[in-house]
Protein backbone atom coordinates (compact mmCIF):
# COMPACT_ATOMS: atom_id res chain seq x y z
CA UNK A 1 0.00 0.00 0.00
CA UNK A 2 1.42 3.37 -1.05
CA UNK A 3 1.84 5.90 1.72
CA UNK A 4 0.71 9.47 1.19
CA UNK A 5 3.39 12.14 1.20
CA UNK A 6 2.96 14.56 4.09
CA UNK A 7 3.00 17.80 2.08
CA UNK A 8 2.31 19.96 5.14
CA UNK A 9 5.30 18.58 7.04
CA UNK A 10 7.56 19.17 4.03
CA UNK A 11 6.26 22.74 3.63
CA UNK A 12 6.98 23.46 7.29
CA UNK A 13 10.46 21.96 6.99
CA UNK A 14 11.23 24.10 3.93
CA UNK A 15 10.05 27.22 5.78
CA UNK A 16 12.37 26.27 8.64
CA UNK A 17 15.30 25.80 6.25
CA UNK A 18 14.65 29.18 4.62
CA UNK A 19 14.50 30.88 8.01
CA UNK A 20 17.64 29.01 9.13
CA UNK A 21 19.72 30.31 6.21
CA UNK A 22 18.57 33.88 6.84
CA UNK A 23 15.82 34.15 4.22
CA UNK A 24 12.31 35.49 4.59
CA UNK A 25 9.92 32.70 3.53
CA UNK A 26 7.12 35.29 3.26
CA UNK A 27 8.78 37.45 0.61
CA UNK A 28 7.05 37.34 -2.79
CA UNK A 29 9.60 35.09 -4.55
CA UNK A 30 9.55 32.47 -1.79
CA UNK A 31 5.90 32.36 -0.67
CA UNK A 32 5.08 29.38 -2.92
CA UNK A 33 8.48 27.67 -2.59
CA UNK A 34 7.49 25.33 0.28
CA UNK A 35 4.49 24.08 -1.74
CA UNK A 36 6.65 23.61 -4.85
CA UNK A 37 9.34 21.73 -2.93
CA UNK A 38 6.72 19.45 -1.34
CA UNK A 39 5.38 18.61 -4.80
CA UNK A 40 8.90 18.02 -6.10
CA UNK A 41 9.72 15.61 -3.26
CA UNK A 42 6.45 13.75 -3.81
CA UNK A 43 7.46 13.30 -7.46
CA UNK A 44 11.14 12.49 -6.83
CA UNK A 45 10.27 9.89 -4.17
CA UNK A 46 7.29 8.35 -5.98
CA UNK A 47 9.21 5.05 -6.24
CA UNK A 48 8.96 4.46 -2.50
CA UNK A 49 6.35 1.92 -1.42
CA UNK A 50 5.80 0.57 -4.95
CA UNK A 51 7.03 -2.69 -6.41
CA UNK A 52 8.89 -1.96 -9.66
CA UNK A 53 9.02 -5.72 -10.25
CA UNK A 54 5.32 -5.72 -11.10
CA UNK A 55 6.22 -4.38 -14.54
CA UNK A 56 8.02 -7.65 -15.26
CA UNK A 57 5.03 -9.89 -14.51
CA UNK A 58 3.82 -9.85 -18.12
CA UNK A 59 6.06 -12.14 -20.12
CA UNK A 60 5.90 -13.95 -23.43
CA UNK A 61 7.18 -17.47 -24.11
CA UNK A 62 10.10 -17.16 -26.49
CA UNK A 63 13.01 -19.46 -27.22
CA UNK A 64 15.36 -16.55 -27.82
CA UNK A 65 18.72 -17.20 -26.17
CA UNK A 66 20.77 -14.16 -27.15
CA UNK A 67 21.20 -10.83 -25.40
CA UNK A 68 18.35 -8.32 -25.15
CA UNK A 69 19.70 -4.82 -24.49
CA UNK A 70 17.98 -1.50 -23.88
CA UNK A 71 20.59 1.19 -23.54
CA UNK A 72 20.60 4.88 -22.67
CA UNK A 73 17.54 4.75 -20.39
CA UNK A 74 17.61 8.21 -18.83
CA UNK A 75 16.96 8.61 -15.11
CA UNK A 76 17.17 11.10 -12.27
CA UNK A 77 17.49 9.87 -8.72
CA UNK A 78 18.20 11.50 -5.38
CA UNK A 79 21.42 11.02 -3.43
CA UNK A 80 20.45 9.96 0.07
CA UNK A 81 23.49 11.69 1.59
CA UNK A 82 22.74 15.26 0.48
CA UNK A 83 19.24 15.06 -1.03
CA UNK A 84 20.63 16.33 -4.31
CA UNK A 85 19.85 14.72 -7.67
CA UNK A 86 22.07 12.52 -9.74
CA UNK A 87 21.19 12.21 -13.42
CA UNK A 88 22.33 9.76 -16.02
CA UNK A 89 21.57 6.72 -18.13
CA UNK A 90 21.15 3.03 -17.46
CA UNK A 91 22.04 0.24 -19.86
CA UNK A 92 20.07 -2.93 -19.12
CA UNK A 93 20.62 -6.31 -20.73
CA UNK A 94 19.47 -9.85 -20.09
CA UNK A 95 19.75 -13.24 -21.71
CA UNK A 96 16.29 -14.85 -21.60
CA UNK A 97 15.59 -18.36 -20.43
CA UNK A 98 12.37 -19.31 -22.21
CA UNK A 99 10.52 -15.99 -21.82
CA UNK A 100 10.89 -12.31 -22.63
CA UNK A 101 9.18 -9.15 -21.44
CA UNK A 102 8.23 -5.93 -23.19
CA UNK A 103 11.18 -3.62 -23.77
CA UNK A 104 9.41 -0.67 -22.15
CA UNK A 105 9.09 -2.72 -18.97
CA UNK A 106 12.85 -2.54 -18.47
CA UNK A 107 12.71 1.26 -18.70
CA UNK A 108 9.76 1.33 -16.27
CA UNK A 109 11.78 -0.65 -13.74
CA UNK A 110 14.69 1.79 -14.02
CA UNK A 111 12.30 4.76 -13.69
CA UNK A 112 10.57 3.49 -10.56
CA UNK A 113 13.74 2.28 -8.86
CA UNK A 114 15.31 5.69 -9.51
CA UNK A 115 12.47 7.51 -7.73
CA UNK A 116 13.77 7.07 -4.18
CA UNK A 117 16.59 8.41 -2.04
CA UNK A 118 19.58 6.10 -2.49
CA UNK A 119 23.14 5.63 -3.64
CA UNK A 120 23.83 4.76 -7.27
CA UNK A 121 25.45 1.47 -6.30
CA UNK A 122 22.22 0.23 -4.67
CA UNK A 123 20.08 1.45 -7.54
CA UNK A 124 22.20 -0.51 -10.03
CA UNK A 125 22.01 -3.70 -7.97
CA UNK A 126 18.27 -3.35 -7.35
CA UNK A 127 17.50 -3.09 -11.08
CA UNK A 128 19.66 -6.14 -11.85
CA UNK A 129 18.22 -8.24 -9.03
CA UNK A 130 14.60 -7.45 -9.95
CA UNK A 131 15.10 -8.43 -13.59
CA UNK A 132 17.01 -11.58 -12.69
CA UNK A 133 14.42 -12.66 -10.12
CA UNK A 134 11.26 -11.87 -12.07
CA UNK A 135 12.40 -13.16 -15.47
CA UNK A 136 14.50 -16.15 -14.29
CA UNK A 137 17.17 -15.15 -16.78
CA UNK A 138 20.41 -16.80 -17.85
CA UNK A 139 22.04 -13.51 -16.89
CA UNK A 140 21.54 -9.79 -16.35
CA UNK A 141 23.86 -6.81 -16.79
CA UNK A 142 23.14 -3.26 -15.65
CA UNK A 143 25.51 -0.33 -16.03
CA UNK A 144 24.54 3.13 -14.78
CA UNK A 145 26.49 6.29 -15.58
CA UNK A 146 25.49 9.50 -13.81
CA UNK A 147 26.59 12.96 -12.82
CA UNK A 148 26.04 13.68 -9.13
CA UNK A 149 25.04 17.19 -8.07
CA UNK A 150 26.67 16.55 -4.69
CA UNK A 151 30.00 16.44 -6.57
CA UNK A 152 29.33 19.02 -9.28
CA UNK A 153 27.70 21.95 -7.44
CA UNK A 154 29.11 21.59 -3.92
CA UNK A 155 32.05 20.01 -2.14
CA UNK A 156 34.74 19.18 -4.68
CA UNK A 157 32.82 21.05 -7.47
CA UNK A 158 33.76 18.90 -10.43
CA UNK A 159 30.98 19.28 -13.02
CA UNK A 160 31.10 16.76 -15.83
CA UNK A 161 32.58 13.97 -13.73
CA UNK A 162 30.55 10.77 -14.00
CA UNK A 163 30.14 7.81 -11.71
CA UNK A 164 29.78 4.42 -13.40
CA UNK A 165 28.41 1.41 -11.55
CA UNK A 166 27.72 -2.11 -12.76
CA UNK A 167 25.86 -5.18 -11.60
CA UNK A 168 26.45 -8.47 -13.40
CA UNK A 169 24.48 -11.64 -12.79
CA UNK A 170 24.64 -15.14 -14.25
CA UNK A 171 26.31 -15.50 -17.64
CA UNK A 172 27.41 -11.85 -17.69
CA UNK A 173 29.48 -12.50 -14.59
CA UNK A 174 30.80 -15.94 -15.51
CA UNK A 175 31.32 -15.71 -19.28
CA UNK A 176 33.94 -13.24 -20.43
CA UNK A 177 32.72 -13.25 -24.06
CA UNK A 178 29.14 -12.34 -23.06
CA UNK A 179 30.40 -9.59 -20.78
CA UNK A 180 32.69 -8.26 -23.54
CA UNK A 181 29.82 -8.26 -26.06
CA UNK A 182 27.67 -6.27 -23.61
CA UNK A 183 30.43 -3.73 -22.96
CA UNK A 184 31.08 -3.40 -26.69
CA UNK A 185 27.40 -2.76 -27.40
CA UNK A 186 27.02 -0.08 -24.73
CA UNK A 187 30.32 1.62 -25.50
CA UNK A 188 30.33 1.17 -29.28
CA UNK A 189 28.99 3.39 -31.99
CA UNK A 190 25.41 4.57 -31.83
Q: Name the residues annotated as catalytic.
A: 79-82, 120, 148, 150
Contacts of 128 (CB under 8 A, 6+ apart): 140, 141, 142, 167, 168, 169
Angle at CA of residue 58, ends 142 and 167, nearest 5° = 10
Would the annotation count 144 as a binding residue? no
Question: Is 79 annotated as belonging to a binding site?
Answer: yes
> Greatest CA span in the chain, whole angstroms?
64
Strand order in the sheet with 163-170: 117-118, 68-79, 85-95, 139-148, 163-170
Which residues define the annotated binding site?
79, 82, 150
Which residues define the annotated binding site for Zn(2+)?
79, 82, 150
Amino acid sequence: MKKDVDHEAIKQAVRTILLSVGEDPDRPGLVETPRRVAGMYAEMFSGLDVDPGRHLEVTFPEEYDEMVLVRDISFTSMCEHHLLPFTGVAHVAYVPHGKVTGLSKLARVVEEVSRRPQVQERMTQTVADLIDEKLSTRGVAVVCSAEHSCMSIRGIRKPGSRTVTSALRGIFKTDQATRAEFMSLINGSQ
